[in-house]
Amino acid sequence: MNPTISREDCAARDVADVLAPLREQFELPAGVVYLDGNSLGALPAATSARLQQVLAVEWGRGLIRSWNDAGWIGMAQRVGDKIARLVGAAPGELVAADSTSVNLYKVLAAAATIAREDGASRRVIVAERSNFPTDLYIAESVARQHGMDLELLEFDDIEARLRDDVAVLTVTQVHYRSGRMADMARLCARARAAGVLTVWDLAHSAGAVPVDLNGAGADFAVGCGYKYLNGGPGAPGFCWVHARHLARLRQPLTGWMGHAAPFAFEPGYRPAPGIERCLCGTPPILGLGALECGVDTVLAAEPLGGMQALRAKSVQLSQCFIELARQRLLPAGCTLQSPADPRQRGSQVSLGVAPDSGIDAYAAMQALIARGVVGDYRAGDGSAAGPHLLRFGFTPLYTRFVDVFDAVHALHEVLQGAEWRQPRFAARAAVT
């Protein structure tokens, strides 16, 4: 079947796209259609020069003096304030620091402590069973340390579980496998009505979809710097705490940067009055420098409509992908594993390949990558209900409509031509 959307249609949409110039902010390799920005964002063109400045001028020449003269000492806050603009937080409410996992530990522990102070009967942490594993592992640890139980539920069962024995609910807003987007405002309202604190992981939403933490009445949030924020591999994450909790917030990673007076060298810990109490060790300046460049690429959309405009394009890209996939990929053995309704979907689309389909999904993705289309593969859980996934992220800052067309076309050829059967595509890499 010929697609109802032609490559020319897609090219025309790119020409009409007011966000198209934002792509020039990135160093994208020639001949590659990169649809894995939901795993590792692309390199901003500004990052190399900025890091060179940090290295040669600030570190090399300024040496120790750059903690003051180059503003290193305030970078966690400065970059945090920029991220805040993307997630509905106010200046001074968010810091960039540590990894997402470490930040999740801080805020989950803080939430558990507050919940316990407010009512000894609240002793359950609720999480989504299929959440990204690091979230579950950290929740498991916090639950153990606080004498609480961790209950893992299907997403659709969470609301009904928010009763008066539940201390904390932790959810990743956009699911890493399916791209399902939770209704943050609704879940926060239900949780608040039940006296349950919410901890949001924005790994797949910050910079991808409009987020309004304060508007939704969320309690805590963490997020990732290296996906849609384009901060580079292993970039610092971030954490946010609603102002109503800050004064009583205690988190266990009480390093010196979280102290009220880090350079007074007092023997006892006194937390900083603000969000700085969520800082721990010395800020990672190279990582923060690169992260700032990445966040700036998203903020560059502000004069063009900001996150709302990026979201509108993201929906158009993913709808285009789904329409083309329906015509060319579902008949070839794939299934749509992301919500069809864009209001319930983040900025990615996942296609399923059933284990009994006869298609080696891992090899198919490798064959696709060999054709220059980079998505990623996530193994299913082995059950018929858990197909292997071919995951495609749409980053409206640099993904074009022709990229969507070319990706579907290439995957169609890979599946039709049984290219994936070539032995060279079957070898598993360490990171899948």
Binding span for a second copy by CB under 8 A among 17-25, 87-95, 257-265, 314-322: 257-265
Q: How far apart are CA 269 and CA 253, in angstroms?
A: 11
Q: State the nearest-atom distance from the C-beta of 105 to a second copy, in Å.
A: 6
Q: How far apart are CA 26 and CA 37, in angstroms?
A: 12
428 is catalytic: no
- 354-383 residues in contact with a second copy (CB under 8 A) are 369, 374, 376, 378-379
Q: How far apart are CA 432 and CA 429, in angstroms?
A: 6
> Is there binding between residue 24 and a second copy (CB under 8 A)?
no
> Is there binding between residue 426 and a second copy (CB under 8 A)?
no
Find the catalytic residue in 132, 228, 392, 394: 132
Q: Which of 8, 12, 24, 55 binds a second copy (CB under 8 A)?
A: 55
Q: How far apart are CA 353 and CA 386, in angstroms?
A: 9
Find the catalytic residue in 17, 81, 135, 201: 201
Q: State the nearest-atom distance from the C-beta of 4 to a second copy, in Å.
A: 31
> Is there binding between residue 248 and a second copy (CB under 8 A)?
no
- 148-177 residues in contact with a second copy (CB under 8 A) are 152
> Is there binding between residue 59 and a second copy (CB under 8 A)?
yes
Contact partners, residue 192, CB within 8 Å, separation at least 6: 198, 217
Q: Which of 1, 15, 244, 268 binds a second copy (CB under 8 A)?
A: 268
Dihedral sign of CA atoms 92, 94, 99, 102 in order: positive
Q: Per-residue DSSP letters for 283-326?
A: --HHHHHHHHHHHHHHHTTGGGTHHHHHHHHHHHHHHHHHHHHH
Q: Which of 281, 384, 417, 421 binds a second copy (CB under 8 A)?
A: 281
Q: Which of 4, 6, 68, 308 binds a second copy (CB under 8 A)?
A: 68
Pick 49 or 90: Cβ nearer a second copy: 49
Q: How far apart are CA 374 and CA 366, in angstroms?
A: 9
- 334-353 residues in contact with a second copy (CB under 8 A) are none
Q: State the nearest-atom distance from the C-beta of 68 to a second copy, in Å.
A: 4
> Is there binding between residue 53 and a second copy (CB under 8 A)?
no
CA angle 46, 315, 361 (to 5 degrees): 85
Q: Which of 210, 255, 306, 339 binds a second copy (CB under 8 A)?
A: 255
CB atoms within 10 A of CB 92: 15
Backbone angles phi, psi at 373, to 5 degrees: -110, 110
Find the catalytic residue in 106, 277, 371, 391: 391
> Is there binding between residue 297 and a second copy (CB under 8 A)?
no
CA angle 81, 188, 272 (to 5 degrees): 40
Q: How far apart are CA 245 and CA 250, in angstroms?
A: 10
116 is catalytic: no
Q: Are 219 and 361 spatial neighbours (Cβ–Cβ below 8 Å)? A: no
Six-digit token pair at 410?
Answer: 């290439």
Instruction: Kindly write out the interface string for residues 215-244 of this chain, putting x where it contacts a second copy by CB under 8 A and - elsewhere.
Output: -----------x-----xxxxxx-------
106 is catalytic: no
> Is there binding between residue 259 and a second copy (CB under 8 A)?
yes
345 is catalytic: no
Which residue intervals of 146-275 are DSSP H helices? 158-161, 184-193, 213-216, 243-246
How many residues touch a second copy (CB under 8 A)? 89
Q: State the nearest-atom distance from the C-beta of 222 to a second copy, in Å.
A: 10
Enzyme catalytic residues: 132, 201, 226-227, 391
